[in-house]
Amino acid sequence: MTEPLNRAPCATDLEDQAIEQWVHLTSGQASDADRHAFARWRGQSADHEAAARLAETMWQALPQTHTAQTFVAPPRRERRPLRWAALAAGLGALALTGLSEPAKVYFADYATAVGERRALTLEDGSQVWLNSGSALSVNYSAARREISLLKGEALFEVSKDAVRPFVVQSLGGSVQAVGTRFDVDRQGEQVRVAVTEGEVRVSSGGAVVPLKAAQRLAYTAGATPSATGVLDLGTASAWQRGKLIFNRQPLAEVFADIERYLPGSLVIAGRLPSTAVSGVFNLDDVPGMLDMLARTQPVRIYRMPWLTVVVVNQTRA
SS3 97: helix
d(CA 51, CA 276): 29
Q: What is the pTM of this model?
A: 0.71
β-partners of residue 281 are 244
- What CATH number was assigned to the domain covering residues 103-230? 2.60.120.1440
Is the pLDDT score of 1 beyond 50?
no
d(CA 259, CA 261): 5
pLDDT category at 173 given cuts 50, 70, 90 is: very high
The domain defined by 242-312 carries CATH number 3.55.50.30: yes
**Tens digit of pLDDT for each residue in 212-266?**
999 999 999 999 999 999 999 888 889 999 999 998 899 999 999 999 999 888 8
Q: How does 243-268 read in b/e, with b if 16+ C-beta sit within 10 Å?
A: ebbbeebebeebbebbbbbbebbbbb
Of the ranges 167-171, 270-274, 303-307, which one carries the lowest mean pLDDT score? 303-307
CB atoms within 10 A of CB 48: 16
- pLDDT at 53 (0 to 100): 81
**Tens digit of pLDDT for each residue in 53-112?**
877 776 665 543 333 333 344 444 444 444 444 455 444 444 444 444 566 788 999 999
Contact 172, 186 (CB under 8 A): no
Domains 103-230 and 242-312 share a fold: no
- pLDDT at 231 (0 to 100): 94
Contact 283, 296 (CB under 8 A): no
Count the alpha carbons within 13 Å of 26 in the hemisphere toward its beta carbon: 25
**Tens digit of pLDDT for each residue in 107-161?**
999 999 999 999 999 999 999 999 999 999 999 999 999 999 999 999 999 999 9
Give residue limits of the domains in the chain.
9-98, 103-230, 242-312
Distances (CA, A) of 216 to 74, 166, 181, 211, 297: 51, 19, 12, 7, 28
Q: What are phi and psi of 250, to 5 degrees?
A: -55, 145
